[in-house]
Every structure is written in structure tokens, then in C-alpha cells.
Amino acid sequence: MTNLRVNPVGWFEIYVNNLERAKAFYQAVFLHELTPLGEHNDDFKMLAFPSDMTRYGCAGALVYMKAKNAGHNSVLVNFSCADCAVEEARVTAAGGQIMRPKMSIGEYGFISLIVDTEGNVIGLHSLA
């Protein structure tokens, strides 16, 4: 057996090609300010999502790295929402696309799959 936690993800990064465009998209959809994280240079920049590292849940950031292209990811990050239809309704106006509208995943609630301005697929998850 392992001592892996029930919810093992502790941090996520979403790689982007245009940090300002991606920042505008995520701020418009989630209505939260993203803030600079760490040292920035022309080859590497990070913008953090709001988080409280002392509480349960997962924190993360948008990352621009000159050597890493965005999109074509094989890991799906799901953002928690009170009702994923609310954030989904803001996606198109923010420059993204709706890949799969809100759908039931049974006892685990509902998800929407969306594509951000950088070609990354992310999920929206809610219990209602």
C-alpha cells in the first residue's frame, strides 16, 4: 500500500503561449484576479490563481515557458464551481470554446469541458 492521499493533486500548471491573452480568458470566466508568482523573465512567467495553501484543495498557475508550447495536453484540470453552467456561460465571450456542455457524471455531480484561448482543454466541475 501507499500513503497517497485520497485527493493526491497538490499543484497544477496550465502552459500558455500568450500569457496576457490567457490571463484575460481565465479572469473573465472565473472572475478572479491572477497574480505574478516567482521571478519573471522573457523565457518564463507564472500567474497564480487565488489560493489558500493552508486549506484543502489544489492551487495552480498559468505558465509561459518559451520552450513549451500550449495545447495538446493529456492531463485534464477540473476547476470547482458552485454550478459549472455559470462559468460555462462566460467561455465564448472570453474567447474560448465549449467542447461539451454541462453534463451529469452521476453521483459525482456535473462537468463541462471547455477549450481556453491557448488550445488547452479544461473541465468545470460542480455538484449542482
pLDDT recorded at residue 1:
52
> Would residue 6 count as lying in a domain?
no
> Would residue 100 count as lying in a domain?
yes
pLDDT band for position 8 (cuts 50, 70, 90): low
> Would residue 1 count as lying in a domain?
no
Whether the predicted pLDDT of 29 surpasses 60? yes
Q: pTM of this prediction?
A: 0.83
Whether the CB-CB separation of 63 and 13 falls below 8 Å is answered with yes
Segment 81-113, tens digit of pLDDT: 999 999 999 999 999 999 999 999 998 899 999
- CATH number assigned to the domain comprising residue 51: 3.10.180.10
Q: What is the Cα–Cα distance from 42 to 37, expressed in whole angstroms?
A: 14
Count of structural domains within the chain: 1
> Would residue 3 count as lying in a domain?
no
The Cβ of residue 3 has, within 10 Å, a number of other Cβ atoms equal to 4
> Would residue 43 count as lying in a domain?
yes
pLDDT recorded at residue 117:
97
Q: What is the Cα–Cα distance from 31 to 104, expressed in whole angstroms?
A: 24
SS3 content of the chain, % helix, strand, coil (to 5): 20, 35, 50
Domain of residue 39 covers 11-126
> Would residue 77 count as lying in a domain?
yes
> Would residue 111 count as lying in a domain?
yes
